[in-house]
Amino acid sequence: MNNQYYSKLIFELSHEGRRGYSLPDNEFKEYDLASMPQNLLRQQEPDLPQVDELTVVRHYTNMSNNNFGVDTGFYPLGSCTMKYNPKINEEICAMPAFSGLHPLQQENTVQGALEVYYNLQRSLAEISGLSEFTLNPYAGAHGELTGLMIMRSYHMSRNDSKRTKVIVPDSAHGTNPASAAVCGLEVVVVKSRPDGTVDVDDLQPLLGDDIAGMMMTNPNTLGIFEHDIAKIAQLVHDCGGLMYYDGANLNPMLGKCRPGDLGFDIMHINLHKTFSTPHGGGGPGSGPVGVRAGLEQFLPNPRVKRTEGDDWYQYSIENTDSALGSISSFLGNFAVIMRAYTYILTLGRENLAQVGPLATLNANYIKESLKDCYELPLKGVCKHEFVFDGLKDKSTGVTTLDVAKRLLDYGFHAPTIYFPLLFHEAMMIEPTENESKETLDAFIEVMRKIAHEAATDPELVKSAPHHTPVRRLDDTKAALKQIVTFAELRQAEL
């Protein structure tokens, strides 16, 4: 239970002269100050809250209690895949040998870190069936952009400059067309069939000598395996295009099926999704990009290389004359790389192959247990996630948003809502492989309870949440009129 007083804004807890710290004497002598650029010197005291130590600790502890995370409760957020993050990952990546590294250190002082980087490149290549990886991109969307730049560089290297279009299914995640547009490519949309998979008949007429390639995720964003993938890859290759795999949905494939074997040429992996690392609010992430044999020279700089002799090996950071140059500062987001490597080593080859089947089992268990209360537009077995199209009984006017808000009252994070865009009341649920049957049962029970409430007392659901620190927000206003500083809040209150 949060304390009302300490839940106030930290500036409201401020009292003139209160201190929760002591600092050593100012070591800057007069001459130091004189030698500094005068415009950088502070002219007056900063306007900071003046609070004692206990107030600070209680304020922030109260604030953290208002937060929801993977350590707080079940997080069925489809597509964004917030999965279990073993604490060993945190311990390893926080070790001073890793956390204290500086990107400008000499190569011979960071051989261990480069070995981690190199080994993860190799592991991802093996897991995905591709030839080589860069770990430099910072997120899935950044990986997509990098991958599309590789695609464009490949065509340009063959003087094939008229390939300016990228095919994207109508079920695609929004970042796919956005990345293509940022890369200067034109987006062509291919329709889905009623079963949710790409309509091959709709695809065929789109193919021609202006197609740079096609972006797909498999299983797609509806959690359905694209069973025509080999045929689709063949058609795209026959017209001279390349296949791009959006690896955000790699989870159910792990150890069972490799994008490289399905005909994909370029892909990214969301390390923060498939290989743990809690993320949210824009970070932290890592979107390594892999390519099939023959495309390695298009990967961005810098690259980590291993050289070996009879009884020695060493790692080096190299820059090639890659057309892409560099797409990030240094070697990417090392802490996420470290967590992913720890996760892969902790699981090992055998357990990694259990991830897909368990994630699939969990998703199907929830789907089958709720399909009598929630509208299931696509029947049959799903992979790691699935989509309901809102409540089955729509007569009460209770929407997907209302159900999502009511879930918060019961201590569950909401699923992804209103995506994919193919269904009006989309509610996308992804339980991930690590959840226990008891957790899934508790979620199912609450979802059934909410469906019952919607039928018997719709206002209760429509006005939810009732028990959260902040009640229902005006999402549009929150997005358009952001208040992120105390000064802005003061301004808004005037």
What contacts 3, CB < 8 A, 6 or more positions away? 58, 62
- Of the candidate spans 125-133, 139-147, 199-207, 320-328, the one that interacts with ligand PLP by CB under 6 A turns out to be 139-147
- Of the candidate spans 60-68, 133-141, 237-245, 391-399, the one that interacts with ligand PLP by CB under 6 A turns out to be 133-141
Does the bond joining 194 to the residue before it have cis omega, within 30 degrees of 0?
Answer: no
Q: Which of 248, 291, 327, 337 binds ligand PLP (CB under 6 A)?
A: 248
> Binding residues for ligand PLP, how many (CB under 6 A)?
15
Q: Which of 13, 141, 183, 355 binds ligand PLP (CB under 6 A)?
A: 141
Q: Does 110 bind ligand PLP (CB under 6 A)?
A: no
Q: Does 432 bind ligand PLP (CB under 6 A)?
A: no
Q: Does 276 bind ligand PLP (CB under 6 A)?
A: no
Count of C-beta atoms within a 10 Å radius of residue 483: 14
Q: Does 80 bind ligand PLP (CB under 6 A)?
A: yes
Range list of β-strands (E), 128-233: 132-134, 165-169, 186-190, 211-216
- Of the candidate spans 112-120, 134-142, 233-241, 371-379, the one that interacts with ligand PLP by CB under 6 A turns out to be 134-142
Q: Does 173 bind ligand PLP (CB under 6 A)?
A: yes
Q: Does 70 bind ligand PLP (CB under 6 A)?
A: no
The secondary structure of 378-413, three-state, reads CCCCCCCCEEEECECCCCCCCCHHHHHHHHHHCCCC
Cβ proximity to ligand PLP, 55 vs 146, nearer residue: 146
- Of the candidate spans 5-13, 58-66, 136-144, 484-492, the one that interacts with ligand PLP by CB under 6 A turns out to be 136-144
Strand partners, 429: 77, 386
Query: Which of these, 245, 187, 241, lies nearest to 212 by C-alpha position?
Result: 241
In the block, tokens 């004189």 appear at 34
Q: Does 270 bind ligand PLP (CB under 6 A)?
A: yes
Q: Does 221 bind ligand PLP (CB under 6 A)?
A: yes
Cβ proximity to ligand PLP, 283 vs 325, nearer residue: 283
Q: Does 339 bind ligand PLP (CB under 6 A)?
A: no
Cβ proximity to ligand PLP, 141 vs 359, nearer residue: 141
Q: Distance between CA 301 and CA 329 in Å, rounded?
A: 10
Question: Least distance in Å: CB of 272 to ligand PLP?
Answer: 6
User: Could you please report the per-residue DSSP string of 347-382?
Assistant: HHHHHHHHHHHHHHHHHHHHHHHHTTTB--SS-S--
Cβ proximity to ligand PLP, 145 vs 407, nearer residue: 145
Q: Distance between CA 433 and CA 80 in Å, rounded?
A: 14
Residue 116 to residues 26, 83, 122, 313, 406: CA-CA distances in angstroms? 41, 22, 10, 14, 44
Q: Does 266 bind ligand PLP (CB under 6 A)?
A: no
Q: Distance between CA 471 and CA 411 in Å, rounded?
A: 14
171-182 as b/e: b if 16+ CB within 10 A: bbbebbbbbbee
Q: Does 235 bind ligand PLP (CB under 6 A)?
A: no
> In which order are the strands placed within the sheet that holds 165-169?
132-134, 289-291, 266-269, 242-247, 211-216, 165-169, 186-190
Q: Does 222 bind ligand PLP (CB under 6 A)?
A: no
Q: Does 139 bind ligand PLP (CB under 6 A)?
A: yes
Cβ proximity to ligand PLP, 140 vs 465, nearer residue: 140
Q: Does 217 bind ligand PLP (CB under 6 A)?
A: yes
Q: Does 192 bind ligand PLP (CB under 6 A)?
A: no
Question: Least distance in Å: CB of 179 to ligand PLP?
Answer: 9
- Of the candidate spans 121-129, 244-252, 385-393, 400-408, the one that interacts with ligand PLP by CB under 6 A turns out to be 244-252
Q: Which of 137, 177, 260, 285 binds ligand PLP (CB under 6 A)?
A: 285
Question: Least distance in Å: CB of 126 to ligand PLP?
Answer: 22
Q: Does 140 bind ligand PLP (CB under 6 A)?
A: yes
Q: Does 252 bind ligand PLP (CB under 6 A)?
A: no
**110 dihedral zone (left: phi>0; alpha: psi -120 to 50; beta):** alpha
- Of the candidate spans 241-249, 257-265, 293-301, 459-467, the one that interacts with ligand PLP by CB under 6 A turns out to be 241-249
Question: Least distance in Å: CB of 57 to ligand PLP?
Answer: 33
Six-digit token pair at 166? 């990228």
Asked if residue 235 lies in contact with residue 241, where contact means CB atoms within 8 angstroms, the answer is no
Cβ proximity to ligand PLP, 339 vs 406, nearer residue: 339
Asked if residue 162 lies in contact with residue 153, where contact means CB atoms within 8 angstroms, the answer is no
Q: Does 420 bind ligand PLP (CB under 6 A)?
A: no
Q: Does 62 bind ligand PLP (CB under 6 A)?
A: no
Asked if residue 420 lies in contact with residue 385, where contact means CB atoms within 8 angstroms, the answer is no
Residue 145 to residues 50, 107, 426: CA-CA distances in angstroms? 45, 29, 27
Tell me the residue nearest to ligand PLP as measured from the CB.
140
CA 190, 194, 199, 205 dihedral sign is negative
Q: Is residue 428 classed as helix, strand or coil in its secondary structure?
A: strand
Count of C-beta atoms within a 10 Å radius of residue 54: 10
Which positions lie near ligand PLP, rule CB under 6 A?
79-80, 139-141, 173, 175, 217, 221, 246, 248-249, 270, 285, 287
